[in-house]
Amino acid sequence: MKSQHSQQSQHSRPAQSPDLLAPLDLAFWNIETAEHPMHLGALGVFAAGSPGDAQHAAELLATRAAGVPGLRMRIRGVRIPVGGAAREPVPDFDPLGHVRLAQPTADFHAAAGALMERPLDRARPPWEAHVLPGADGTSFAVLFKFHHALADGLRALTLAAGVMDPMDLPLSRPAPAAEAPRGLRLPFPGMRDLRLGDLDPRKLPGLVRESAASAVTALDIGASVVRATLDVRTSPAFSSRATGTRRTEGVILELDDVHQVRKTVGGTVNDVLIAVVAGALRRWLDERGDGSEGVRPRALIPVSRRRPRTAHPQGNRLSGYLVKLPVDEGDPLARLRSVRRAMDHNKDAGPQRGAGAVALLADHVPPIGHRIGGPVVAQAARLLFDILVTSVPLPSLGLRLGGCPLTEVYPLAPLAQGQSLAVAVSTYRGRVHYGLVADAAAVPDLDVLATGIRAELADLVRACEAVERPV
């Protein structure tokens, strides 16, 4: 009787409409290859009180993951719209298949690099958490991996915060459930929020005008992309053949030093952090013998279009700025001023325009286009930009896992096809953390770039001190 009642209750439940992937999520899902997995990561280092803390952390992660709804979502293809995909909960979700305890290691970044090159299982919820015990027993690390179709940087932070020790943070609170759609959503520009059951002939002229404006925006972005590819000299060091290998490095800088530079020169903290990357690339290219003269690689700077406290946090809402990094400029302060001018120009134009807004073109492609054109789009990334430099926000309060404090956290960005290097930056508790991801075969000297980041900020600080105290 109990079984029959349960079956009747299940049959009586109204069918829920699928949570369709947003256009950019669908693009990330379709451009993935075995050699270029589209997952982002975060390597967190925790102080341990005993060697057993790592195993305890793994047990906590598995237990808490079962209570985070976003972690039980897998991605499946749908019949309508053709070529589309949707998130759906896994009824028999087992977090033990996603949380793994590794062997002790003396090098967290070496272990993270080997794990970052492994694609996620697309048949299951696309995320993993690897607990890496430290060889000396005084620390352990956790590498979180989330597919970019499941989460962007902010969403990944929300999911990871859900398995940390409880804190009174907005990010740790479950988001309110979105109202189930009443009909099938139309995947066309200008009609993304319209449903078949809501069609009103009186609204059609406005929808046509919106679609026309959308097409104009797409053409404008496309033209900007073409212009951005002209008169640009980059280095072969920024491109590579697909090897599927990964290497990671981490760098920590003092935020006070960054603020000192910002107050002297002006601009924003982000301007300084990008200029540090430009200077480090100059040092790296010169030391490896490639040369930096005349080199101005195009950096894609992602910009979040997510509204604060949105009721539906899933889905990538990204645009971007395209900046030619002044790697060929020899003076560190001149490099910073050049970056500042370029960023100000992008901000004046806004994230809806310019070559950096190329991600917005995903909104103008029907789902079947993403399915068919994914491989082509993946190969085109190296034509659009040379290096990704992204910033991932973190809470200012200290995080803990099993009572162990999080002392370091390195964001790790996915590596686009044909590119050899990606840089992600986060600030946490008064320090700046750079996470570097590279093709291990193309960039065996990633440690040289990491050293260059430290040296570049030191040079900027010295240059600012000389400006403040002229001889």
For the purposes of burial, counting CB atoms within 10 Å of the CB of 292, is it exposed (0-12), middle (13-18) or buried (19 or more)? buried
Residue 410, helix vs strand vs coil: strand
Which residue's entry shows tokens 């925790």? 46
Amino acid at 69: P
Question: What type of residue sits at position 82?
Answer: V
Give the DSSP letter string of 35-51: SS--EEEEEEEEE-SST
pLDDT at position 366 over 80 = no
Mean pLDDT for 224-248 is 72
Residue 214: per-residue pLDDT = 46
> Crossing angle for the helix pair 367-384 and 23-31, nearest 10 degrees?
70
- Tens-place pLDDT, residues 128-176: 999 999 999 999 999 999 999 998 887 888 899 899 998 644 433 333 3
Length of the chain: 471
- C-alpha dist (Å) from residue 178 to 117, 193, 316: 34, 13, 16
Q: What is the pLDDT of residue 468?
A: 72
3-state secondary structure of 178: coil
- The owner of tokens 């946090």 is 313
pTM of the model: 0.81
Question: Residue 376 has what pLDDT?
Answer: 54
**Lowest-confidence pick of 381-395, 404-418, 424-438:** 381-395
- Beta strand ranges found along 209-260 (DSSP E): 247-254
Distance CA 338, CA 334 (A): 6
Query: Is the separation of the CB atoms in 386 and 356 below 8 Å?
Result: no
Positive/negative CA dihedral, 353, 354, 360, 362: positive
